[in-house]
Amino acid sequence: MQDHSAQVPRVQVNSIKLMAEAAGIAEPSIEAATLISEDVTLRLKQIIIRAFRFMEHSNRKKLTCADINKSLRWSNCQPIFGYECDTNDRIRYSYLAEAQVFKYEDETVDLVEKYQQTSVNVKDLLTDEGCLEAVPELTIEALAINNQMGL
């Protein structure tokens, strides 16, 4: 008869190598993949143990996704989307059909608009008192006028 208590579930080294290659690391070494596999396995165990503690403190016998999300938040990780999420949370992944993968959606930031919303003077950026007199003040309006004139 086999002793199943000795078998510990682990994240496979091949899975770590596949994820590393997907992230752009050409050929990860077996030693590095093994160390990362052990670390990921340990961290997953910690998250599950903490989730069980949340379950026990709630006097429940069923582990829920909310318990996992609380445990992830305690570990400074993103919650699991799609299960019992708040209405303010939105799924930030999109499916790329040509690659058959999901990708994280980054927010697009318009730097010109962001810069126009903040009023920063060049004088504020300089700390040397002697240079302040020699630097003319430059504003967004002056840049816009010069750009329209073709200067």
> For domain 8-104, which CATH number applies: 1.10.357.10, 3.40.50.720, 1.10.20.10, 1.10.3720.10?
1.10.20.10
Domain coordinates in residue numbering, the chain: 8-104, 111-149
Q: In sequence order, what are the residues at sequence separation of 6 or more whose Cβ sits closer than 8 angstroms to the Cβ of residue 101?
A: 22, 95
pLDDT tens profile 43-61 = 999 999 999 999 999 999 9
pLDDT tens profile 4-35 = 555 777 888 888 888 888 888 888 888 988 99
Q: In sequence order, what are the residues at sequence separation of 6 or more whose Cβ sits closer than 8 angstroms to the Cβ of residue 63?
A: 51, 52, 55
